[in-house]
Structure 1
Amino acid sequence: MLYDDARPQIGNGDLLFFRGRLLHSRVIQRFTRSVYSHVGIALWVKADGRRRLCVIEALEGHGVRVFPVREYLERGESIDWFQLIDESIDRDRVAGWALDKWGLQYASARQLFRSFITIPLCNWLGLPTRIDRNRGFCSYYAAQALRSGGWRPPDDEATPPELAAPGDVALFPCVRRRGPLLLSRHQG
């Protein structure tokens, strides 16, 4: 779908999933068995009569930041828009939680290893784990933001945010894929 057509329909708290092409993106996709390597939260920035659709995201090398969606598309990034469909979720609380995290650091390599290897193993063995809540990764932030907005996963889908990969978040029943965002009909 054309970005300019979709843009007015995208709301604060909707999710934007990325299909990265770089090596580290491919590693994430293969390791997590997902087409997605990254996820961020849609956020409208408004000032002086101007509105700009941005994504607030946890990004390696940058931490939690706000970045314009159009800039990503102009760089050739593949982005799928997922709309929040659960009306019990407060979109502004989702975006507000994400804004509160703006400037925090990205998870260390050690923490990522712990999240995807050590924590599941400890949970399986019934051992306690500790999470550094001041450092995280994209899917952790997206899952936590949804929970802060009031979403409660069904009991049979209670993937803890610290274990969620982008593909896991895309399967949450509170969001629905609307389609890829394209700058022109010839893209993609």
Structure 2
Amino acid sequence: MKHPRNFDFITGAARRNKIESLQRSLTEQQSEILQHTSELKNTTRASFAVSELIGKRMKPFTDGEFVKECLLNVVDIICPEKRDLFEHAQQFELYAIALDENTDATDIAQVAIFVSGINVTFDITEELASLVSLKDTTTGENIFQGIMSVVGSLGLNLSNICGVTTDGAPAMIGKVKRAVSLIEKEMRNAGIERNW
């Protein structure tokens, strides 16, 4: 009762037609949202399915990059209009990264880099961006270099980063030579200020 009643002047068959039109419009909008959500979920599920197969076969996760390259080539041929479903990162307005350091079965230290981002139409994407192997040492500098390599390869801009989450490993957090501190320093050098 507090809102203007814009349809009071419509009566009879015209009112029924207007109601049906509004219902159709709502159904179409809901269907479009559900379809888009389903496509994003399927892309994420496919990414995890490939990661699971790589893990089960005891292959290095760098093979995942090769698999992704193959999939993109297939998409370009079969359904080029769907390529953007595989390349969300370039469209992020804001993104955050999460870092998890672990060791594989052969005692090689690795950092899993997850990216969560949102685009201009508020579509949220979360994915394992890369698994970086640290062959020599697991210093903050090594981890930082791996992060910057992944950020660069995805075409992400440091000015759009809104957060970094870590597993709390010593090489990740700290005031001077830790990965997060080095990211903040790189941002300051680029004139980007963030208060995390």
TM tier relative to shorter chain: under 0.3
Q: Which has the higher contact order (CA 8 A, sep 6+)?
A: 1
- Mark the structure with the bigger radius of gyration: 2
Higher helix content, 1 or 2: 2
TM-score, normalising length from structure 2? 0.24
Higher strand content, 1 or 2: 1
TM-score, normalising length from structure 1? 0.24
